[in-house]
Structure 1
Amino acid sequence: MVAKLDGRTALVTGASRGIGKAIALRLAEDGLDVAITDVAANKAGLEEVAGLIEKAGRKSAMFTGDVSKEADVEGAVQGAVKALGKLDVMVANAGIAQVISLLELSVDDFDRMMAVNLRGVFLSYKSAAQQMIKQGHGGKIIGAASIVAYRPFALLGHYSASKWAVRGLTQAAAMEWAKYGITVNAYCPGIVGTAMWDLIDEKLAEEEGLTKGAAIKKYSESIYLGRVSVPEDVAKYVSYLASPDSDYMTGQSVMIDGGIQFS
């Protein structure tokens, strides 16, 4: 049973929908006060999530910004501390996806993918660690990797590269910050029923001459547990990483994929 987290606080990036929303709500259910952030275009979703957190009896604070911008990340971290009193858990969840062949990929597309998925995680890790070190009582830093951090998919080359890099960054951060009592781990979702995977499915279907929904069905057939995951499957694992039960775990990037068999 995961230890209750009453009195602790968290900040979740990319929390307006999908996995980020599920994580924020699960942490609130576990007893944390939860600050959330996302891009301004998703403000309505943030407001909904903040309301649900407060409905669960926890404090919430919301911020808009771009995780690829240092000032925005630092502003969210300091805003969370001001609103909630401290920062115990950082979940660097924000990310983007794009389905395109490497031959068609532009430098701008590549740079944007790395800016959000890698630089955004780096800035979130660094800003959270600085705050946790200042507080002096350790903390939990958790990042979003992916199944493609272990096995890249065709047409997801730069997305895969960004997630492989998150694995390495997570291990390095865990090594450097262990002396401060900070653990750093990542979660690696498989095929999840989210807007991001809807986009991936649509583009893969176009490339492979399939109907929408057929691409995910094709890849899902290799899942041992027989179903695509839902955001709550990932949130349950993040709940563990955020709790004292994971105090002896650091530098890990664990797949939550239902047991996909790779060919």
Structure 2
Amino acid sequence: MATDSNTKKVALVTGSANGIGKAIVRKLASDGYAVVINDLEFNKEKAEAFAEELKAQGHEASVLFADVSDFEQVKSMVNSLERLDVMVANAAVVAPVDFITDDHIDGWQKTFDVNLKGHLLCYKFAAIKMIAQGWGGRIIGASSIVGRKPEPGRMTYSATKWAIRGLTQQAAYELGKHNITVNCYAPGLINSELAQQYMASSPQAAELMNTVIKSQAVGRIGEPEDVAQLVSFLASEGAGFITGQTVSIDGGIVFT
């Protein structure tokens, strides 16, 4: 990925004030990127404290607030950057436990707006900027193990994560000629705020997650840093011939 060497490479990670996103930002900063932390305004204190922590460690870090489901906000966020080399569309929400036989679709629209539309907008505006820059880039999205293997009670969330895989393949097909690779990671159960929030939402959710843990070959819950290591590789020069792929990082739940 030949780049303009006059300025430092920039990586933007959405939903990165905490959890997996925060670990990804920390790893990319250690890789030498100028990192941009994105989150919603209600996470302002966390995001800004994290940026200050990184700066104190000698890294270049900034914060941009935007709702990834909002067309104009994502467009403005990306366009405000002087350059963009890596876009990590990490932001997501977890839907409540739901089944196809439920007599409601509570949470369906919000989950699709954030998880799927959010990825589309991040991919779209990152691609436009990277094409204009002329030296390529890396676009990386967040699928899930339930985007490969259904689990009980995950109907809405699973549907968004399957769709992200398709979106990633389509984007990779269109953008390869511009030296832009597009891939996504598919975590299993990761010890993050999002997973903890889901497990605490109901006894049923906790039971489902415990079943997942027992099914893993590795026999432990993943950590956000595990995912960050994978994203670091997908963003690297060494991953230049990998595109359109969804890489599982699940401790051995799905074998492909």
> Residue 160 in 1 paired to residue 158 in 2?
yes
Pick which of 50-59 and 130-139 moved more: 50-59
Q: 1:71 and 2:64 equivalent?
A: no
- How far residue 39 of structure 1 moved from its aligned partner, in angstroms, is 0.8
- 2-structure distance, mates of 1:149, 1:93: 15
Match of 2:53 in 1: 52
Q: Give how far 1:8 is off.
A: 1.4
Structure 2 vs 1, CA of residues 91 and 105 (structure 1 numbering), >3 Å: closer, same or farther?
A: farther
Question: Aligned-pair RMSD on alpha carbons?
Answer: 1.9
1:248 aligned residue (225, 241, 254): 241
**Which digits, 9 at most, give the CA deviation of each residue in 1:47-80, with x for residues without a partner?**
122123212322222111210001111122122x
**Aligned counterparts of 1:54 and 1:69: Cα–Cα separation in 2:** 29
Quick one: which amino acid aligns to residue 132 of structure 2? Answer: K
3-state SS of the aligned residue for 1:254? strand
> In structure 2, what is the equivalent of residue 90 of structure 1?
87
Q: Which residue does 1:229 correspond to in 2? A: 222
Q: Could you list the per-position Cα deviations for residues 8-36 of structure 1 after superposition, in whole angstroms to 9, with x for gaps in the alignment?
A: 11101000100000000100011000011
The verdict on how the C-alpha distance between 1:105 and 1:86 changes in structure 2, with shifts beyond 3 A counting, is: farther
Sequence identity of aligned pairs in percent? 42
What is aligned with 1:238?
231
TM-score w.r.t. length of structure 2 = 0.92
| Match status 1:259 vs 2:252 | yes
1:117-136 residue CA offsets vs partner (Å, 9 max, x unmatched): 00000000000000000000
1:216 Cα offset (Å): 3.2
Q: Which residue of 2 aligns with 1:20?
A: 21
Q: How many angstroms apart in 1 are the aligned matches of 2:16 and 2:214? A: 29
1-side partners of 2:231 and 2:33: how far apart? Answer: 13
Which range moves more in the overlay, 133-142 or 7-16? 7-16
**Secondary structure, counterpart of 1:91 in structure 2:** strand
Distance 2:204 2:118 in 1: 29
- Report the alpha carbon displacement of residue 105 of structure 1 after superposing the two structures with TM: 6.7
Query: Tell me, what secondary structure is at the counterpart of 1:7?
Result: coil
Q: Secondary structure at the match of 1:221?
A: helix
1:30 paired to 2:31? yes
- Counterpart for residue 216 of structure 1: 209
Unaligned stretches of 5+ in structure 1? none
SS of 2:107's equivalent in the other structure is helix
Q: How many residues align?
A: 249
